[in-house]
Amino acid sequence: MHEPDCDVVIVGGGHNGLVAAAYLAKAGKSVRILEANSEIGGATTSVRAFPDFDAHLSRYSYLVSLLPDAIIEDLGLDFECISRDVSSYTPYRRNGVEDGLLVSRLWDKATEESFRKLDPSGREAASWQEFYGLIAEFAQRIAPTLLRPLMTRSELRDLVGLPDTWEFMIEKPIGEVIQRYFNDDLVQGVVLTDALIGTFASAFDLQANICFLYHLMGNGTGEWKVPKGGMGKLVSELERVVREAGVSIELNSRVTSISSNASGAQVKTSAGEEIKAKYVLSNVAPQTLAKLRGLPAPESLEGSQMKINILLKQLPVLKSGIDPHIAFAGTFHANESFAQFESVFASAKNGEMPHVMPLEMYCHTLTDPSILSQELQDKGFQTLTLFGLHTPAKLFDSDNDAAREVGLQSALASLNEYLVEPIEDLIAGIEVKTPLDIEAAIGLPRGNIFHRDLHFPFREDGTEPSWGVETDDPRIFICGAGAIRGGGVSGIPGHNAAMAVLSKQLD
Ligand SMILES: Cc1cc2nc3c(=O)[nH]c(=O)nc-3n(C[C@H](O)[C@H](O)[C@H](O)COP(=O)(O)OP(=O)(O)OC[C@H]3O[C@@H](n4cnc5c(N)ncnc54)[C@H](O)[C@@H]3O)c2cc1C
């Protein structure tokens, strides 16, 4: 390899590529980011989705939990995430009466009473507190390890030191555990949701455990917060920091191949440019990286969600009578009972779009109205972010447009079950993203929001020491969601890939 053009080339300008670039540039390395699109940010952008309205919605990812405070501090990001007082609201109809399960972020009287209406024996409420108490302790012990080299399974199990919780979080299917702790199908489903976001799996598949863990370990609390200013604020802050550190960001630069030899690595772009570097960091999915290297792509689950962004003229009224400012302030679950999840999973596996889509939803503007112009705020406009589950990419393969419409109707019907008037009457703007739309826009293979299947945050006993970002080529690292401990808005694989490179002799 001839003289390198820079120390490190980063393929893809998602938030993880930007985090990696920031750590490397601050350590004095020369870095170039090549981004295929005309904008950086990948799955963490905010956009003015509806040209007639001055509203900037988080187009793909929308809540933050996994981004360690340490990364925000290290990089000096002016980026704030806001806590929500309400954790979740789940409407239900029993014995002809409309009601709902309200769970506050901190256990309080309203939560206690809400559980008691569902289960006067008090058993579900007690189980809830015990279950999440155990998980909180578990999460606190795992979170600090995420920015260090991977521990082995045995090392992490010993460090955590909670053998019973380890057993039910890591070794036994989470579906069995949830059914052991909770009796009520609706409560079971609220708990199970965190195991299935972006993961097309049965409750009894260990892949669901991994997803569950990622949804409950962020910053040691598992709390999902609202990014102030929208998800795009994270990207604009990262861009500021990397530019100040001297990183070159090259837009509309699609990488078409990656190769290496003993002395360095080389990438080629669709414009015919060849760039040599000491190392290449891949912010693209491992499946895409394999193709760029001329290798067979690793197997992975496909994406299985519909993302629907809505601008509302006003919040809808609920049949249960709860104030919508409370119901939509946290995560709103519709048709996500345990039994519904299992049955929809089975039918989607057989190629059927859910008739009543299990979905979760939240209203960004109740916590942070700053994404709307003052005029829209004054008029009472709000946003709704709807995430529909168990809609795998294969359901869209034969006719994406037609399936998108069927999926949308299923999602709206699912929500309308609990509203006094149909949501359609209140919509000022709506955009719908299927897994195939997401793949076409930002390159997530088959729309998998985590790039590929999530991994447990440890390496198996007897394997080589690692940061979870290495490939079989010592010049090429993964700095994106597809790394071990990647997935979600976290910056963790970006940080870890930078540390892996910095721990090497750059020659
Ligand atoms: C609909 C949706 C909702 C989500 N919700 C949440 C959420 O609320 N909270 C959360 O924590 N996570 C969420 N996620 C997951 C999270 O957003 C992603 O896992 C994470 O943002 C991935 O970041 P990344 O930087 O690793 O990669 P990406 O954001 O995927 O960035 C990769 C970049 O590489 C570029 N690229 C691709 N191919 C090439 C090429 N050949 N050459 C050059 N550049 C290329 C892409 O254009 C893209 O900009 C969601 C994801 C989606 C899609």
Domain total in the chain: 1
**Which residue is it, tokens 């962020």?**
218
pLDDT at 507: 56
pLDDT at 227: 98
Q: Is the CB of 132 under 6 A from ligand 1?
A: no
Q: Is the CB of 34 under 6 A from ligand 1?
A: yes
From the CB of residue 412, how many other CB atoms can be counted at a distance below 10 Å? 21
* DSSP secondary structure letter of residue 314: S
Show the low-confidence residues of the chain (pLDDT under 50). none
Q: Is the CB of 47 under 6 A from ligand 1?
A: no
- The answer to the question of residue 176 being in a domain is no
Q: Is the CB of 189 under 6 A from ligand 1?
A: no
- The answer to the question of residue 144 being in a domain is no
Distance from Cα 446 to the centre of ligand 1, integer Å: 12
Q: How far apart are CA 407 and CA 402, in angstroms?
A: 9
- Ligand 1, pocket-test mutation among 19, 284, 453, 479, most atoms within 8 A of CB: 284
Distance from Cα 442 to the centre of ligand 1, integer Å: 7
- The answer to the question of residue 19 being in a domain is yes
Q: Find out whether 8 and 281 touch, Cβ atoms under 8 Å.
A: yes
Q: Angle at Cα 10 formed by Cα 9 and Cα 13, nearest 5°? A: 145
Q: Is the CB of 37 under 6 A from ligand 1?
A: yes
Nearest CA to ligand 1 atom 4: 61
| CATH number for the domain that contains residue 490 | 3.50.50.60
Distance from Cα 126 to the centre of ligand 1, integer Å: 38
- The answer to the question of residue 267 being in a domain is yes
Instruction: Specify the pairing of strand 264-269 against strand 274-282.
Output: antiparallel
What residues make up the domain containing 252?
A: 6-42+230-301+456-502
- The answer to the question of residue 248 being in a domain is yes
pLDDT at 262: 87
- The answer to the question of residue 29 being in a domain is yes
- The answer to the question of residue 108 being in a domain is no
Q: How far apart are CA 17 and CA 11, in angstroms?
A: 8
Query: What sign has the CA pseudo-torsion 254, 234, 372, 417?
Result: positive
Nearest CA to ligand 1 atom 27: 14
- The answer to the question of residue 235 being in a domain is yes
Nearest CA to ligand 1 atom 13: 61
Non-local CB neighbours of 62 within 8 Å, separated by 6+ positions: 227, 231, 362, 364, 385
**Which residue is it, tokens 């400012």?**
325
pLDDT at 505: 67
- Ligand 1, pocket-test mutation among 249, 367, 442, most atoms within 8 A of CB: 442
Q: Is the CB of 227 under 6 A from ligand 1?
A: no
DSSP calls for 185-203: HHHHHHHHHHHHTT----T
Q: How far apart are CA 233 and CA 237, in angstroms?
A: 6
Non-local CB neighbours of 175 within 8 Å, separated by 6+ positions: 192, 195, 202, 203, 204, 208, 338
Q: Is the CB of 217 under 6 A from ligand 1?
A: no
For 205: left if phi > 0, alpha if psi spans -120 to 50, otherwise beta; the answer is: beta
Q: Is the CB of 44 under 6 A from ligand 1?
A: yes
